[in-house]
Copies of this chain bind each other. A is one copy, B any other.
Amino acid sequence: MPAVNKTRYALLGILNTGAHSGYDIKKGIERSIGHFWHESYGQIYPILRTLVAEGLATAHTEALPGRLARIMYTITDQGHTELRRWLTERIETLPIERNEFLLKLFFGAEVPLTVTLEHLRQHRRQAESVLETFAEIEAMLAIQVTPAMASNLPFWLATLRYGQAQAEAVIRWCDDTLKQFGMSSLPLSGV
């Protein structure tokens, strides 16, 4: 069991919703957990094989007429057990992310204020665009409510609102900070 790698659990979680091919999984991740998780094919295909080798999934080739043959992976009981074990496990302390934007902001005194203001505006635009994506996802979830989704929906919406809360906080902070730095660049008068 590797110390860091959580890819296996992301894959097990997706497989738990039904049989998928490697290609499927990649697309599925983008459409579901894409705003806080990502995987590349370079990870997915090798790890699917190790899941099979470990008995956590099975593979069988599906050759439907008029369609490219593909390898479908199905979670096993053992895989299901392992998924639940991990889900129940206490989450390790959050690793400190590396935030390039904050790194540049921290050293902002080195460059003209306009540079920092532009970084702030760009960061704000990014957060706005993320919010728009979330709104689209939310609209989509509201439309396609299948019975199979019902039990998952509250959890999916919760992760969505997490992203929204973060993005909204960033936007407010950008506005405050832009105002503060924008003001401070003006000459003081009458004081």
| A58: Cβ under 8 A from any B Cβ | no
Q: A111-B84, A177-B158 are in contact. Are A32 and B106 (CB under 8 A)?
A: yes
**Contacting pair B105 A83 (CB below 8 A):** no
Chain A contacts with B in 113-130, Cβ cutoff 8 A: 115-116, 119, 122-123, 126
| Size bracket of the A interface | 35 or more
Verify if A144 is at the interface (C-beta below 8 Å from B): no
B-chain residues with CB within 8 Å of residue A9 when the two chains form the complex: 103
Q: Which residue of B lies closest to A97 (CB)?
A: B97
CB-CB < 8 A to A35: which residues of B?
A: 96
Check if A37 sits within 8 Å of B102, measured CB to CB: yes
| Chain A 39-83: CB-based contact to B (< 8 A → 1; otherwise 0) | 000000000000000000000000000000000000000000001
14 A-B residue contacts at CB 8 Å? A13-B106, A36-B96, A36-B97, A37-B102, A37-B103, A86-B104, A91-B119, A91-B122, A106-B155, A109-B152, A154-B180, A161-B173, A165-B170, A168-B169
